[in-house]
Structure 1
Amino acid sequence: MPKILPAAGGDVVEIILADHRWFEEALRELRDVRSDREAVLADLATVLIAHAEAEESKVYPMLRRKDAIDAEEVEHSEHEHDEGNEALLELMEVEDTGSEEFSSKLHELSEALTHHLDEEERDVLNPARTDISDQVRRNLGDTFAEERARLIAEDCGNIANVRKIVKS
């Protein structure tokens, strides 16, 4: 299992892309019946929640202010985070990680997350690359990494918090 990525600063696009590749590896691990699915899921929940919450509070508002993305794109991305969080919670609530139900809920999470990563990389990160200066992307990367690290330290991926996020 990939370890939770440290909260290093730098270009926000590169940091987000590194998280996306980490999510894909975690999903592969969850599909492997030999892996420690409970541990992998706990790590995935923590990073996924921290990542999405930091994007929504730090990245999207800055990209919106800089006119790299519009309000509709922000709303769409946040809606996809909501869908992913709901699928994550449903997977976390499955008691038997070896069950068909776990496999089915994992498929739903994988579909939602893969769809979001693809759209975000095309419709949010590409404009960030072209419309935002290197310095702003570095500053935003530092801000994103700090917020992500703070949320991870608070155990943001625990099931009670995921439930609270899904209900809000």
Structure 2
Amino acid sequence: MATDVITLITRDHRKVEALFERLKKKEGDRRATVAELHALLTAHARAEEDRVYPGIDAHHEVEEHKEAEVLLDALKRADPGTAEFEDTLVKLEESVNHHVQEEESELLPKLASEVDAKELERLGAAFQKRRDEELTALTSGSSAEGGATKAELYKEAQKADIPGRSQMDKEELEEALRKAGS
């Protein structure tokens, strides 16, 4: 199986598209699908921003990630089946599809033309490692130390409406929650 960064990124894009389809067709537990979509998009975006974008001009893509983050948070708060949920789902899908199309037609081909295969593999390994770390943090249960997991802290930060929470690590979430009085 290919492990270059371009293949890994586009594979995630296809998974996201499948999750949108499941949501639009109202298949299965929509809340669980939203949680899966949230975890995948958040982990994917953080991995791109931390491991792929620093070496290329991708300021616009980071802005699009922020837009998707806001819509994802709104989708998680909305009750499935309501007009708010359906409207937010449409907006989120449009935003993500625009980002994916732009990334796959401009950014990734540019990366492929400017970087050799060895570097694409190195970036792929770094992207995958960061993505997997985020997915684990976002989907894990309570930690062994008895403290809150990053995912639990993130949920608290959502409730407290702390800006920039999706970009924070566990310690930053703890500090922001302390400052917010949660």
Measured against the shorter chain, the TM-score band is 0.7 to 0.9
Q: How many Å apart are 1:147 and its aligned residue?
A: 0.4
Give matches, 1:61-80, under 5 Å: 61-62=54-55, 64=56, 70=57, 74-80=58-64
Letter in 2 for 1:46: A
Return the letter of the residue paired with 1:32.
K
Counterpart position of 1:19: 12
Q: Report the Cα distance in structure 1 between the residues aligned to 2:40 and 2:162, rounded to whole angstroms.
A: 16
TM-score, normalised to structure 2, is 0.76
**1: CA distance between counterparts of 2:112 and 2:44?**
19
Quote the Cα distance in structure 1 between the aligned partners of 2:53 and 2:64.
Answer: 13
Question: What do the CA deviations read for 1:75-94 (whole angstroms, capped 9, x no partner)?
Answer: 10000001111111111110
What secondary structure is seen at the aligned counterpart in 2 of 1:10?
Answer: coil
The answer to whether the 8 A contact 1:26-1:44 is kept is yes
Do structure 1's residue 105 and structure 2's residue 88 form an aligned pair? yes
Q: Which has the higher contact order (CA 8 A, sep 6+)?
A: 1
Larger Rg: 2
Tell me if 1:34 matches 2:27: yes
Superposition deviation, residue 99 in structure 1: 1.4
Q: Which of 106, 119, 125 lines up with 1:142 in the alignment? A: 125
Q: For residues 76 and 24 of structure 1, what CA distance do their matches in structure 2 show?
A: 21
Q: d(CA) in 2 for partners of 1:13 and 1:51?
A: 12
Matched, 1:88 2:72: yes
- 2:94 alignment partner AA: E
Give every structure 1 segment of 4 or more consecutive aligned residues whose post-TM-superposition deviation is greater than 6 Å.
none
Using the alignment, how far apart are the partners of 1:160 and 1:52 within structure 2? Answer: 21
Equivalent pairs counted in the alignment come to 151
- Counterpart amino acid of residue 44 in structure 1: L
Aligned-residue RMSD, C-alpha = 2.0
SS of 1:41's equivalent? helix
Query: What is the alpha-carbon distance in structure 2 between the residues aligned to residue 81 and residue 165 of structure 1?
Result: 14
Identity among equivalent positions (%) equals 31
- CA distance in 2: counterparts of 1:83 and 1:149, whole angstroms: 22
Taking a change above 3 Å as real, the CA distance of residues 113 and 161 of structure 1, as seen in their structure-2 partners, is: farther
Matched to 2:22, the amino acid is E
Aligned to 2:42: 49
Distance 1:30 1:160, change over 3 A: farther
Task: Spell out the pairing of 1:147-166 with structure 2 (5 A cutoff).
Answer: 147-155=130-138, 159-160=155-156, 164=162, 166=164
